[in-house]
Structure formats: structure tokens, C-alpha cells
Structure 1
Amino acid sequence: MRHYPAFLDIEGRPCLVVGGGAAALAKVRLLRRAGADVTVLARRFDADLQSLADNGEVALTKRAFRASDVAGRALVHAASGVAALDEAVADAAKARNIPVNVVDGAALSSFVMPAIVDRGPLVIGISSGGASPVLARRVRAEIEMLLPHGLGRLARFAQSFRSAVHTTFADFEFRLRFWDNFFDGPLAESVLAGKEHQARSGMLALVNRAQLPPAGEIENIEVDPVQPDLLTLRDVRRIARADVIVHDGAVGTAILDHARRDARRIEADSETDQLMAAELKAGKRIVRLTARQEYRKTGLAAQ
């Protein structure tokens, strides 16, 4: 992983965009969606930027860039398209430890902009680390097709019940199981279909009943450790939901990384059955990853 992925809270914070054309406009629109206080600096501005300024959405500064312009900014975008100017902007920001992104200039940037899937409040960023922005955009397009447009509505619905669920289910594992059951069940489907009133009544009933999570379960998945792309979407989801992953030694990180970060990982050995029985009794959801027969004896790790 070349860059550390993070989401910044810039609502109400001063940000600077240097440039007056289409590239600058794209950055301005993103910053405004995040609630930033945006200043755009350039010798001239296109009509769309001028229109935003006329509507009071951004402030325009019409002159040449000065290094002092970056002072006090939460972050800076260099989007002039003029190499020397963009480099000067980047140098000025870095000298003050201010995050800076240069459009089409990953080497000059202290952070890179991902391709974005916005299902607010759910936001997904896809980055190639500057290696291939076109590839990142293609991946974004694939994800856009997979995710329903009502996903943001579902996230807001779940958020409205977080406090009640936390109060009702003091145990973290119980809460996790509750939410898994919700997102996999008919109530979530109702929210996605726009039937929030119906879903809210059902959700209130579930929370008020304070039902305990179902008993533990074991799911077996046979995998090809050297071809992790052969995993089905269903298998990826099953792995991602597991509390415990029990795996053969041949199963490598390309497959194991589909698991939750807090999931327990156990490499199978002579004591595996006892461990699985204990976890099952504790109500845990277990996924047993078994390497295909030809890999079991060799212990060949996934490449």
C-alpha cells in the first residue's frame, strides 16, 4: 500500500484551489460537496467558476500566485495546468506542512485524489496511487454498477438506530450480529426500495424485543490459493462476515484479507476441531477455508 487511506473533515475549513479552468472547477465542486470554505486563485476564471462566485459559493482572487497564499489553509489543490506554477504551489504548501494535491502530478503531491463513489454518507475512494488514474476510474465504474443508489438512504437509516442498538445490545459481538442480520434481511431491502416507514416499524420491533443473536455456525469454503480471483462474490461476503477464519497453511493473504480486521485467524492444526467447537459454542460465525486437494500437502502459499 503506497498511500495511507484517510477521509478528512474539512467542513467550514479554508481550502485553496490554484487555477481557473476545468481542472480547478472539478476540485472546487468536490471541496464544496465536503462543506469546505473555498478560495480560487488565478489570473482568469472560466464562466462556471465565475457563476459559483456570483452565487456566493466560492471566493475568487484574480492575480498571480504568491507562496504566502497557502498560509492557514486546511489543504491546497494545484490545478493550473502550468507545470512551473503547480510545482511552486506544491513547494509552498509542503514547506508549511499543508496537504497538497497537484492535478496529474502524483510525484509533486503529498496526497492523491481517489476515484469516488458517492452514496452519501457512504463514500468509497479507489486509488491506484497515481500509477493509473484511468484504471481507478474503471474500477469505480464497476463498483457504481454493483451498488444500489439507495445505499446512502440505508446508511442514514442505520445511523438513526445506532444509539438504540448500542443501548440494547451492550455486547459488541451481539451488536455486530444484529447489524449483519439487518443488512442481510428484508428490512434493509425495504429501505432500499424506499419503504422506510415500513422498515422503521419493523426495526423498532426488533430493537424492543432485544433478541439475542442466533447460534454460531460453520461454513466451509474450498479455495484455490494461487488463484484468489476465482472466489465467488458470495464466498467473499461469507468470509467478510466471519468472526473466526480457520484456514489451511496454503491459503495466503490475498484471500485472508477479505476477512474483517477484528476477525480471529487460526491456521489449521491438530487442535483445530477443539478450537472450532469452543468458538461455535460461543455463538461465533466460523468460516473454514480449505485449500484444494493438490495444495494441501505441499503447503504452497498463495503467490
Structure 2
Amino acid sequence: MLTPTGEIVAEARRLGVGAGAFNVITVEHAEAVVSGAEAAGCAVILQISENAVRFHHGRLAPIAAAARAVAELSTVAVGLHLDHVESDELFDQAAANGFGSAMYDASKLEYADNVAATACAVARGHAAGLWVESELGEVGGKDGAHKPGVRTNPAEAAAFVQSTGVDALAVAVGSSHAMTNRDARLDHELIELLHDAVSVPLVLHGSSGVPDDELRAAVRGGLVKINIGTALNIAFTGAIRAAIAQDVTVVDPRKYLRTARHDMAETVTKALRVLTGATP
């Protein structure tokens, strides 16, 4: 069932568990995420990034409609989130396309400019009924746009939330986007300091490169919304490679996309069990 993202995150925070948010590129991604969530018996968030929209010829409506339809037919609560939006035009399309939330990313800007741009986006988003996430402290691994090693300052984070009115804050604590190895180590002392300083839910981006024990500790320390994308693509691409290697004459995409979707779903189920502390 389609559910506001803010409600899913608030419930996860109340229970002291992580809310899994998984990147959607194709309709198979959306189907896999929801199937995996249903197998785990957990709520989940489908998120479509500005990069994914760019892949779909810059058109949000088609992939949003597909994801929304999958969410509406689910037996678990499913949120729809527009992620890493730098374009004001795209941000302003979110509510009309069924999104309950959006992440406005002005983290490339200097602090004062980030505050001003984010506060303006939050005002527009709230007027449209959106739950708005933003970012402070650059998370590594996005085509060189974010500097590795940067960390979010707790006092600055508290001031940023107060000045902008954001509903959730993505913080830089040691993870990095697009990691294919799970060897990232998080700054758990910083996570606890941020949790104590900031009143809104904290978000971890780049979680595919973070081992299970680190994710569990991060959730215990106060991170709530946990974003996962590359792990799905590893499963997706690996399944397709294996299927085509097994039968080089295959031309029907359903024969390998079915396996790819299944493997992504299993990845989602395992991740949600880690984030919620469920028994494997």
C-alpha cells in the first residue's frame, strides 16, 4: 500500500529500527524491492534519483507511475521518494507524480547558500505536502562532486535543521556512494553526537558499501533511513551475466530479467532483516 514516507520513517524511529530505502532504476527494481519487503514483512521506501530520471530521457512521470502502481498493490507499506534532486524544476514535480517525499540536494553549495536554497525548497515542498530530506557534509563517490573524507559537524547540522526546517538530514559519517566492496567503516562516535544534536531523523547514504555489523551499529546509534542502491545493481547485473554466459543464444529478456529481479528481491529481504534486527 502506498504510504507517506514520513510515516514509515517515524514508525522505524519509534521502534528503534532502520527504514530501508532502495533505489529504483527500472520497473524490475521496483517489483524486486516490494517483493523483497513483502518476504521480510517490512515497510520499505522506493526511491528514484535525479540520475534515474535522466536515464529515462529526463521524464519523471513514466517511471514514477510504474513505481507508484507497484507500491499501491503491495501488502506492506511502501513509500515513494524522489532522491538527490538538484533541479528545482524536478523537485517541484514530485507531489504531482505521487511522491510523499523528496531529497533536495544543495550540498555542492557553500553552507550559507545550501541553507538558503534548502529553506526555499522546504517551504515549497511542505506547501505541496512533501516530507523533505536534505544533506549536509558531502557523501563521497558521486562522480567527483562530493569530496571523500568530509564529515558532518554536529553543531552545524543542528543549526542547518533549525534554519531550513527539513524533516530529515542525510549526514556524512564514512559511507560512500557506488561502493562495490562492503568494507566501509562508519564513525559511530560521530553518529551518536549527531543523534544527540539533531532533532530530525538521520539518513545514511551510500549504504551498499557498509557491512552488516556496521549497519546494525549505525541504527543502534541513531541512523534511521538507510539508502541502498548499488547492492541491487550488483545482484541485477550479476544475474544477467550468469544467465547469458550459461546460454549465449538467449534473446528473450524475460529469461534473464526474471532471475535478476529474484536476486534483487533476495538482496532487499536480507538488508531489511539486518536493519530491523529480524532473524535471518
Structures share a fold, TM > 0.5? no
Higher RCO structure, 1 or 2 (CA under 8 Å, sep 6+): 2
Between Structure 1 and Structure 2, the one with more helix by share is 2
Structure (1 or 2) with the larger CA radius of gyration: 1
